Amino acid sequence: MSEVLLKYLPEHSVPLCFELIKTNSVHLKIVNERQTRHGDYRRGLSGKHEITVNSNLNKYRFLITLVHEISHLVAFDKFGRNIKPHGVEWKMTFQRLMVPFIQPEIFPHSVLPLVARHFRNPTASSDTDAHLAFALKQFDERKPDVHFVHEVPSGSMFRIKNGRIFQKKGLRTKRYECVEVHSGRLFLFNANAEVEIVPG
């Protein structure tokens, strides 16, 4: 198991993760990419704790996702099944389980302070923390034609994964206003949304 984990996790996090998996009797499955989620926890019909994590995540996002999902299991076990999935009990559990991982041997210097700040009050998804999400994306394997919305020149067109085309307008607080070309409707995009620039 440790050899498999080494392919997906930062090296110095493997013993800690292996211990969490063993202690909580986790059945871990590494699965193909899903657009809607990085990971998932469910208790199987047999009572087995099943956690899935996407195989395409970079090592740091894989680690955060794995601990996120184990935190659901631990919080449900400790506080009962009626708690909110991302409520205060889960947040406390996630913070506690992440503390041993927030160290320079595990996270690079560019990410470590952002991880530490995020875990003062973790959210349901690290993607909603724009600074942390952007820092983590620097370690993704990006295709050459993929750009972040903040890199798209104002007024230019871009395409999202489902093929819809937008024109970038201006910045509104933290997100970018973009008009869908087909419908004329206005949408807001996070700065680190991945898009493909449409040549003018």
Per-residue pLDDT tens digits for 148-160: 898 899 999 999 9
Question: Where residue 186 sits, what CATH number does that domain have?
Answer: 2.30.30
Do 7 and 35 sit in the same domain of this protein? Answer: yes
Q: Which pLDDT value is given to residue 9?
A: 97
52 pLDDT higher than 90: yes
Do 154 and 55 sit in the same domain of this protein? Answer: no
What's the whole-model pTM score? 0.79
By the 8 A CB rule, do 156 and 132 touch? Answer: no
Neighbours of 96 (CB within 10 A): 13
Q: Which pLDDT value is given to residue 55?
A: 94
Domain boundary (91, 115, 137) is at 137
54 pLDDT higher than 90: yes
Q: Which pLDDT value is given to residue 60?
A: 97
Q: Please state the rounded mean pLDDT for residues 37-51.
A: 87
Which of 9-13, 37-41, 79-83 holds the top average pLDDT?
9-13
By the 8 A CB rule, do 188 and 175 touch? Answer: yes
- State the average pLDDT for the chain: 91
Percentage, residues of the chain above pLDDT 90 = 67
Q: How many domains does the chain have?
A: 2
108 pLDDT higher than 70: yes
Q: Please state the rounded mean pLDDT for residues 152-171.
A: 93
Do 51 and 124 sit in the same domain of this protein? Answer: yes
Do 125 and 93 sit in the same domain of this protein? Answer: yes
Band (pLDDT 50/70/90 cuts) for residue 105 is very high
Domain range enclosing 68: 2-137
Range with lowest mean pLDDT among 61-70, 103-112, 190-199: 190-199
125 pLDDT higher than 80: yes
